[in-house]
Structure 1
Amino acid sequence: MSGRSGVYLVSAKQSDTGHTYDNSGFQEKDHSVGYSPTNGVNIQDAPGAKPMPEKPYRGMGKEELLYFSSRPFWRRLRMGCIAIVLIGWLALVITVVALVLAYPRCREPDARSWYQKEAVYRIYVPSFKDSNGDGIGDLKGVESKLDYIQDLGFNIFSLSPFYSGDDTGASTLVADFGAGKDETIVDHKSVGEVYGTLADFDSLVAAAHDKGMYVVIDFVPNQSSKNHPWFMDSVANNLGTKRNYYVWADGDVVNPPNNWKSHYDGSAWTLDATRGLYYLHQYSSDTADLNLRSAALRDELESILKFWLDRDVDGFNIRRPGFLYEDFDLRSNPGSGINYADFTPMYTSGQPEVYGLLEQWRMLLQAHNKTNTEKLLMADIDGGMDVTRMYSYCDRSGVQMPLNVLQSNNDCRGTCLRTYVDMWMEATPSGKWASWMGGDENKDRLASSFNSSFIDAFTVATFLLPGTPVLYYGDELGATGLDTSMGGARVSHARAIMPWDNSTHGGFCDNCTTMWTDVAQTVDNSRGELSGLIKDLIALRGEQSFRVGEYAAALRDEAVFSFVREFDGESGYLVAVNLSPDTVTRDFTGSHHTIESEATVALSRGSSYAVDDDADTSKLEIGPYGAVVVSWDYVAKEL
């Protein structure tokens, strides 16, 4: 084998031959090497050795390289280069950290309470389901239909008043279709005989909780029956503890204290012959308005709330809070005439004391809570209430969910719905929660107030807007209610019997000969029941973008109302409804900056698309009174 072997023996022992060995072979030892902290490596010439050059030169040997590289100038140059590299590296790290902190990240979703995640099913108890054949709905009847309510997708139900009151038998209810009987209460802490017992109520609550459902009951703090023990004590004992539980005022036989009118027309004052004073009743003369300025009365009302909290209710719907207080000086309302509508109720509604009282009740619910589950306060906004102040008074928390009922309008189209939504969204403070309600027992039904084609589009919009939808029983069937030609100012036509089937009594009761009123006169099956649509909408509400996502208005015109729901890292959704009788095609891509041109259909109602179809949002077609919901994948935005 020729050449060098490539295997080298290395010894730590100094050679005695005077030779050194490197990769080029043996060389004579010409230099001695020394080191000092000041000058670095110092190669001293051996006798007869060639002197070191004064400057570096190309092709230097390792001794010369070692010599020059150890000089102070080169050491400083090396340290400077290392420092530049370290500083550059540190600057890069700082830049990356700054970009990570500054770049929009996927946010953590806001926490949602149970009432924000679910939808509410509102029940008028006397008309929902009769369990004992007396022709009047009751609590056992409600319990028997919990599976029906939950199968629709609702996990919250709200009950109309079921308390002990004046005779609420069938004959009494029929007299005015139940209007006014909700407030003729004689005992706020017991169940009316026709509705069952406290044991029935406890059974209903337990059964609901076993199914993961929540129970909200009505709280009626504004008035009671004249037959209530409080009122009878207030009448009989002018010096008793309850003498100020009601609103009393002087007047003569001919002239009441002022011009205040009842909602049912006529004077809001009735002279009590025993006490010789007028008592106030803003509604029926069978009821008397409570005086919320009495501290003792407020304590009584708080004890009522605690009583039902101890029976594990999940929340309260405060009835008519706008009328809890009246003007202290009993000043007459502006206007003239004989009917309620002839006057502006400046001094009988929306008084400032209401908001502080709502806050006190909210704090009571927080403090008197044995389940550690947030308790809900709902309240209607009738009575000139300022919605913003209902939510938060003096930077404190009021009711969580004022109820926003759509007003009747038989010609409601895109601009009508836009006005309804915008007014409520603007009234809802940041961080607070909206509600969307098509009706209740004190308003006409949706199917009686709007053309039937409108209801689908309205339902899609309100179930997918930020907030909690509230559905009135029977609206899922398109029920129209009682004949509107019957009755007068006190009649609510939305209290008809729930039609469970096509039998004589509509499945409302078994073995009953009469019912307190008629079955809902018609059920609109021409477009199919709303039940299937509601189930689909509630399922869609479970998506993160609808549950916690932001809301942004999209394209709107006379026919179309649309909006976007989206959340970081989740699919975006466009909800578009057509409130006209014609098929429309619109370009939605420019109406909001996140809408993608290529999308997938998530829901279709009254349109040609099927779920999972591809859709071009630049030419999205929506059928007459139809609705389309499309989604697209989240796309991270670049800096």
Structure 2
Amino acid sequence: MTTPAIKWWQKAVVYQIYPRSFQDSNQDGIGDLKGIENRLDYVQKLGADVIWLNPVYDSPNKDNGYDISDYEAINPEFGTMADFDDLLAAAHQRGIKIVMDLVVNHSSDQHQWFIESRSSKDNPKRDFYIWRDPVDGHEPNNWSSFFSGSAWKFDEASGQYYLHLFVEGQPDLNWENEALRDEVYQMMNRWVDKGIDGFRMDVVSMLSKPTGLPDAPLPAGNTYANPVSLTANGPHIHEYLQEMREKVLNNGDLMTVGETSGVDIDNARKYADIDGSELNMVFQFEHMGLDDNANPALGKWDNQPVSLVALKENLSKWQTEMEGQSWNSLYWDNHDQPRIVSRFGDDSPAYRVKSAKMLATLLHMMQGTPYIYQGEELGMTNAYNLGWDDFDDVEIINGREFVVNREHLVDDDTMLDYVHYKGRDNARTPMQWSAADNAAFTTATPWIKLNANYPQINVEQALADPDSVFYHYQKLIKLRHDLPLVTTGHYHLLDPEDDQVFAYQRLDDGEALLVIANFTAETVERTYDYPDNADLLLSNYQDDQGSTLRPYEAKIYYYQK
């Protein structure tokens, strides 16, 4: 059997940039495209191959740019299209590719398509969106928005509701309409012609809605039901993505990754089949839901630590069951997740650096394409100094209103603890460049409050310290680039019931890697089978004490079998 050729994106490492919070070049308190361009040398020094840009399109910012009013214009807060062209050219000059965020499950209610759609029932673009008559004077079904409350908004002028799975200002596009799909493909092709290197596709698993839009199972005591089980992986989603592949994605050597809420292994294999008929890889969320609240009404809002045994089981399932059939994406952090060192690690001064390196080591030696979210390579932490008046995220604001004020599920202090543990604004505080005012992000007032620990945790400090988290990430990236085994090796979990240490092997053609990660602040003893002449490729301690694993110790051994 012929082994498929390794694609460039299988050996690549992606650096995710949230533009509002990366670097402000014009001193208005908001990060921008020129700021990113000015920091490309930093990304190059890290060793990343690709930048994934969160949305930079024109937007009224009801959901920080994920409500797009013009897919082919740059939000003036971020600069101009000429600034984007300069950024793309400067990145390519450094060998760095640019992947754009594609948000086509919904648009902004200020997009011209929706303005026309809303204008009358007989407008040619009426069916670009999902409109329904009231049922018995109420919403067409019981679906909730993912940001709390009903997923339907009544339009007085036409007497119908429109669907918005997210905020009211994000009406869902109707992918059953062929004219709408053609408009989307034409827009995508114009970005491809501009020279971008791929697309990260926002909530792509929700493009195809279930036939008839039926009610979702309603938890006891709730008015509205989370519709993810119905809206994810709908009846025509794979037809749409195969059509997208034919009309757009085959027009360049592009990298594609789909954000696929509600996906399981079987569906992931279809989205990212090795035959290349749809996407290259998907983001799945199972490991990010392992620390959700046991009360379904609270959903993600909790502050309990994850079970290591459950984490091992989940990550290992995706490693073994996707191998040879499709490709994994590997991530801990992103703009929708809290900081991993505060969540699965230990962000205390004693162990922040050690545990950040441990988590990085564990993830980056698995099979798949790793994603590093800005600041993750510094060991940036959750922002415990943010209070209710400081949060900007609609999910946090609406979540508090629903959980505390309406349903009275927990009190305000408990909810704040949950937000400090799981809230999205933990990841959205400005990038910490130095100990200077505002972390050298801006000289103006930042759009969101800085994490108070920026004087201690910042790029300037990290680059000056050869033992920093940054240089550990740099070494992990180099290992992936230099050692084919990281890309091609089979995954084998060791000791699945061990609730303190996560250890696994990567095996291929007589070679082996052994990855050992102590998830605790305790010193433990563990013995693994590897030869005395095994090479210690990387560790987060200066010496090797063999079977003794110190707090959060992580090691990578290489040996011939």
Q: TM-score, normalised by structure 2?
A: 0.82
1:222 equivalent among 93, 96, 105? 105
Which one-letter code corresponds to 1:276 in the other structure?
G
Give the match for residue 471 of structure 1. 372
Give the match for residue 328 of structure 2. 434
Which one-letter code corresponds to 2:503 in the other structure?
S
Q: Is the 8 A contact 1:379 1:401 kept in 2?
A: yes
Q: Is the 8 A contact 2:218 2:225 kept in 1?
A: yes
- Partner SS state of residue 287, structure 1: coil
Which one-letter code corresponds to 2:538 in the other structure?
L
Give the match for residue 127 of structure 1. 21
Cα RMSD of the aligned pairs, angstroms, is: 2.7
Which one-letter code corresponds to 2:281 in the other structure?
M
The separation in 2 between residues aligned to 1:264 and 1:577, in whole angstroms, is 36
The separation in 2 between residues aligned to 1:338 and 1:414, in whole angstroms, is 32
Q: Give the Å deviation of 1:238.
A: 2.3
Long gaps (5+) in structure 1? 1-106, 169-178, 590-594, 610-614
Give the match for residue 401 of structure 1. 281
Q: Give the Å deviation of 1:485.
A: 4.4
Give the match for residue 64 of structure 1. none
Using a 3 Å threshold, how does the CA distance of structure 1 residues 535 and 339 change in structure 2: closer, same or farther? farther
Give the match for residue 498 of structure 1. 431
Q: Is 1:458–2:359 an aligned residue pair?
A: yes
Q: Deviations for 1:467-510, whole angstroms, at most 9, x for unmatched residues?
A: 1111111112222244464247613212111111111111112x
1:146 equivalent among 16, 36, 40? 40
Give the match for residue 552 of structure 1. 492
Which one-letter code corresponds to 1:504 in the other structure?
D
Q: Give the Å deviation of 1:567.
A: 3.4
Q: Is 1:325–2:208 an aligned residue pair?
A: yes
Long gaps (5+) in structure 2? 292-303, 397-423
Q: Is the 8 A contact 1:607 1:628 kept in 2?
A: no
Q: Is the 8 A contact 2:228 2:261 kept in 1?
A: no
Q: Deviations for 1:48-93, whole angstroms, at most 9, x for unmatched residues?
A: xxxxxxxxxxxxxxxxxxxxxxxxxxxxxxxxxxxxxxxxxxxxxx
Using a 3 Å threshold, how does the CA distance of structure 1 residues 340 and 441 change in structure 2: closer, same or farther? farther
Q: Deviations for 1:15-74, whole angstroms, at most 9, x for unmatched residues?
A: xxxxxxxxxxxxxxxxxxxxxxxxxxxxxxxxxxxxxxxxxxxxxxxxxxxxxxxxxxxx
Which one-letter code corresponds to 2:334 in the other structure?
D
The separation in 2 between residues aligned to 1:416 and 1:330, in whole angstroms, is 34
Give the match for residue 540 of structure 2. 605
Q: Give the Å deviation of 1:388.
A: 2.1
Using a 3 Å threshold, how does the CA distance of structure 1 residues 326 and 473 change in structure 2: closer, same or farther? same
Q: How many residues align?
A: 496
Give the match for residue 551 of structure 2. 624
Q: Give the Å deviation of 1:600.
A: 2.3
Q: Give the Å deviation of 1:124.
A: 0.7
Q: Deviations for 1:149-194, whole angstroms, at most 9, x for unmatched residues?
A: 111121111010010122x5xxxxxxxxxx6132221111111111
1:585 equivalent among 495, 503, 525? 525
Q: Is the 8 A contact 2:23 2:441 kept in 1?
A: yes
Q: Deviations for 1:535-581, whole angstroms, at most 9, x for unmatched residues?
A: 11111222122233333333452222222224336x53211111122
2:451 equivalent among 512, 520, 541? 520
Q: Is the 8 A contact 1:261 1:339 kept in 2?
A: no
Q: Structure 1 residues 338-347 or 536-545, which shifts more?
A: 338-347
- Partner SS state of residue 515, structure 1: coil
Which one-letter code corresponds to 2:502 in the other structure?
F
Using a 3 Å threshold, how does the CA distance of structure 1 residues 581 and 256 change in structure 2: closer, same or farther? same
2:139 equivalent among 228, 245, 256? 256
- Partner SS state of residue 505, structure 2: strand
The separation in 2 between residues aligned to 1:198 and 1:213, in whole angstroms, is 19
The separation in 1 between residues aligned to 2:89 and 2:534, in whole angstroms, is 44
Q: Deviations for 1:568-611, whole angstroms, at most 9, x for unmatched residues?
A: 36x5321111112222332212xxxxx434322211113632xx
- Partner SS state of residue 397, structure 1: coil
Q: Which has the larger radius of gyration?
A: 1
Using a 3 Å threshold, how does the CA distance of structure 1 residues 339 and 206 change in structure 2: closer, same or farther? farther
Which one-letter code corresponds to 2:140 in the other structure?
P
Q: Is 1:279–2:279 an aligned residue pair?
A: no
The separation in 1 between residues aligned to 2:284 and 2:13, in whole angstroms, is 14
- Partner SS state of residue 20, structure 2: helix
Q: Deviations for 1:298-350, whole angstroms, at most 9, x for unmatched residues?
A: 00110111011011111100001122122231211111567688545443333
Which one-letter code corresponds to 1:514 in the other structure?
T
Greater RCO (CA < 8 Å, at least 6 residues apart): 2
Which one-letter code corresponds to 1:498 in the other structure?
M
Q: Is the 8 A contact 1:263 1:340 kept in 2?
A: no
Q: Is the 8 A contact 1:186 1:227 kept in 2?
A: yes
The separation in 1 between residues aligned to 2:2 and 2:307, in whole angstroms, is 37
Q: TM-score, normalised by structure 1?
A: 0.72
